[in-house]
C-alpha cells in the first residue's frame, strides 16, 4: 500500500508477523504496519518526516537497501495519485500504481500492470473514467411527510 520503514534492516519474515488486526499506531505509534501503509517515496536520499501522521518519506538508497536485504528486485506500491496512473521511480526499482481514474474529480488516469514471462516483464495499461450522467435521487415525498 504505502512504502518502507524508518529502519533499513526490516526483513520479509518480520513483515509477515505483523498483526494486521489492529489499527495503525495502536501498538505504540510508529509500528511497521503504520509505516507500510503510509510511507511515501521521495527523490532525495535518506529519510524525511512524513506529512502524514504515520510513516516517513524514503529515498532511492532506502529502496536499494530494502531490496538487497530481502533479495528482491522491485517494489510495487500504491497510496498516492499519479497523473498518468503510475510512475516508475528510484531508478526503475519502485513503481507507484494508482488504479482510480479521476480520483476526487481530478484529471488523473488509472492504471494497472500486467507481469509476463519468466522475468516478469512489466506492461502498464492506462485508462480514464467514463463520464456518468448525474445521479437521479429518488425519494417518496409522502413517505417522508408521514415520519
Per residue in 74-112, pLDDT tens?
999 998 999 999 999 999 999 999 999 988 888 899 999
Contact by Cβ (8 Å): 123, 96:
no
- The residue ranges of the chain whose pLDDT is under 50 are 29
Domain-by-domain residue ranges, the chain? 12-145
The answer to whether residues 108 and 101 touch, using CB atoms and an 8 Å cutoff, is yes
Tell me which fold the domain 12-145 belongs to. Purple Acid Phosphatase; chain A, domain 2 (3.60.21)
Would you state the pLDDT for residue 29?
Answer: 47
Which of 91-126 are b and which e, b meaning 16 or more Cβ less than 10 Å from the residue's Cβ? eebbbbbbeebeeeeeebbbbebeeeeeeeeeeeee
For residue 23, what pLDDT is reported?
74
Sign, CA torsion 5/7/9/14: negative
Q: Is the dihedral of CA 70, 76, 80, 83 positive or negative?
A: positive
> Given phi > 0 = left and psi -120 to 50 = alpha, else beta, which region is 81?
beta
Q: What does the longest C-alpha to C-alpha distance in the chain come to?
A: 67
The pTM of this model reads 0.80
Amino acid at each position: 500500500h504505502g512504502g518502507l520503514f524508518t529502519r533499513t534492516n526490516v526483513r520479509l519474515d518480520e513483515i509477515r508477523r505483523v498483526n494486521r488486526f489492529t489499527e495503525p499506531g495502536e501498538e505504540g505509534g510508529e509500528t511497521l504496519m503504520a509505516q507500510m501503509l503510509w510511507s511515501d517515496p521521495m527523490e532525495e536520499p535518506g529519510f524525511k518526516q512524513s506529512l502524514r501522521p504515520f510513516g516517513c518519506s524514503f529515498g532511492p538508497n532506502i529502496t536499494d537497501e530494502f531490496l538487497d536485504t530481502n533479495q528482491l528486485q522491485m517494489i510495487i506500491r500504491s497510496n498516492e495519485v499519479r497523473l498518468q496512473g503510475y510512475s516508475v521511480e528510484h531508478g526503475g526499482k519502485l513503481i507507484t500504481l494508482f488504479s482510480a481514474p479521476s480520483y476526487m474529480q481530478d484529471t488523473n488516469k488509472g492504471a494497472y500492470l500486467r507481469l509476463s514471462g519468466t522475468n516478469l516483464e512489466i506492461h502498464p495499461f492506462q485508462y480514464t473514467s467514463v463520464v456518468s450522467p448525474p445521479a437521479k435521487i429518488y425519494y417518496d415525498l409522502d413517505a417522508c411527510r408521514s415520519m
